[in-house]
Amino acid sequence: MVQIQIRYEGGLRCKATHGPSGQTLLTDAPVDNQGQGESFSPTDLLATSVGTCMLTIMGIVAERHGWDLVGSEVIVEKKMVAEPTRRIGELDVVIRVPADLDDNARAALERAAGTCPVHASLGPDVSVPVRFEWGVTL
């Protein structure tokens, strides 16, 4: 179990403290929802969680097989919807891997990304299309 303590700082900003490590992060409401947009919004963190989760799970598989994923990146484009309520409607994910891997490695890593627990925790109303770009120069 991990505990995260979150304190409202005022001005639509919160400070979250990760219990095990003591690391902190700040959130701010986005400009289009009355905030200053000076940090990640709560929905930005959800989008970040999907991308980092996918890349982390891929990293676990890659390390097990000796595949080098250093320099890989994930771009997540968060798309909000207003109806029926304001929420995330889509997280468009592009995973870019500079390593030149064979088809078997690519398939294993794509399957790994698909097992991301954050993605699995999202409801069916959030679309998460995922595209891979292999052997790209970053």
Each residue's pLDDT, cut to its tens digit, for the chain (138 residues) gives 999 999 999 999 999 999 999 999 999 999 988 888 889 999 999 999 999 999 999 999 999 999 999 999 999 999 999 998 999 999 999 999 998 899 999 999 999 999 999 999 999 999 999 999 999 887
Answer yes or no: do 101 and 71 share one domain: yes
CA 69/CA 101 separation, integer angstroms: 10
3-state secondary structure of 37: coil
The answer to whether the bond into 42 is cis (omega within 30° of 0) is: no
Residues 15, 56 within the same domain? no
Asked whether residue 67 falls in the same domain as residue 120, the answer is: yes
For residues 26 and 60, membership in a common domain is answered with no
Considering the domain architecture, whether residues 28 and 54 belong to the same structural domain is answered as: no
Same domain, 127 and 99: yes
Residues composing the chain: 138
Phi and psi based region of residue 11 (left: phi greater than 0; alpha: psi -120 to 50; beta: remaining): left
Domain that holds residue 16: 4-33
DSSP state letter for 43: H
